[in-house]
């Protein structure tokens, strides 16, 4: 990860170096989101005008791009706040990509591939993804599907449940292990 810190309009050179070192110490918070992406580039701009202190971060790392800027009276507080903002953005974007990958993997699985026939006992095994849903959604899914049962993860209790219907009596049974 390449880090470039620029200071602008800070008259005292010692204070400028101190702020630069302080900003560099904070960059370890970004490494978690940038470790697998190459090339990664972080630009930090610290500037001061009268009573306004500005801190700005620009992150370019492959397809991950983020920018944050903060203006406060205290430069330390501005640096802390801008790093909080950029970490929040990076976390949101990486989590969003991870959840879309998980969803795509669940949709891509074909149920016909999951059927296996065991020659010993004539048992048909069917593997189903455990979808998180509440009881009302599971009942709706059961009414839409052609199956007599629906296996789901109850979003309220986070346990696996099964709903099965009796077509003759039109009743729905909830099985809780």
Q: For 90-120, what is each residue's pLDDT tens digit?
A: 888 878 777 776 666 665 555 544 445 545 5
* pLDDT tens figures, 31-43: 877 766 677 889 9
| 110, 120, 161 from 123: Cα distances, Å | 20, 8, 22
pLDDT at residue 54, as a whole number: 93
By C-alpha distance, which of 85, 41, 45 is closest to 65?
A: 41
Domains detected in the chain: 2-106 (3.30.160.100), 116-175 (3.30.505.50)
Report the C-alpha gap between 135 and 61 in whole angstroms.
43
pLDDT at residue 25, as a whole number: 92
Q: Is the pTM of this model over 0.85?
A: no
Give the pairing type, strands 149-154 and 2-8.
Answer: unpaired
Report the C-alpha gap between 55 and 48 in whole angstroms.
9
* pLDDT tens figures, 117-155: 545 567 777 776 677 888 888 888 888 877 788 888 888
The SS3 assignment for 38 reads coil
Neighbours of 70 (CB within 10 A): 19
């Amino acid at each position: 990860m390449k880090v470039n810190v620029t200071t602008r309009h800070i008259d005292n050179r010692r204070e400028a170096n101190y702020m630069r070192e302080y900003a560099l110490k904070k960059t370890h918070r970004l490494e978690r989101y940038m470790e697998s992406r190459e090339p990664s580039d972080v630009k930090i701009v610290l500037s001061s005008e009268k009573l306004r202190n500005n801190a700005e971060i620009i992150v370019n790392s492959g397809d991950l791009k983020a920018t944050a800027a903060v203006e406060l009276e205290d430069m330390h507080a501005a640096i802390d706040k801008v790093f909080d903002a950029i970490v929040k953005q990076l976390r949101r974007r990486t989590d969003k990509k991870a959840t879309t990958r998980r969803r795509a993997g669940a949709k891509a699985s074909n149920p016909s591939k999951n059927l296996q026939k065991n020659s010993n006992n004539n048992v048909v095994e069917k593997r189903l993804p455990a979808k998180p849903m509440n009881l009302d959604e599971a009942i709706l899914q059961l009414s839409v599907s052609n199956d007599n049962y629906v296996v789901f993860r109850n979003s309220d209790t986070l346990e696996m449940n099964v709903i099965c219907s009796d077509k003759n009596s039109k009743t729905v049974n909830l099985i809780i292990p």
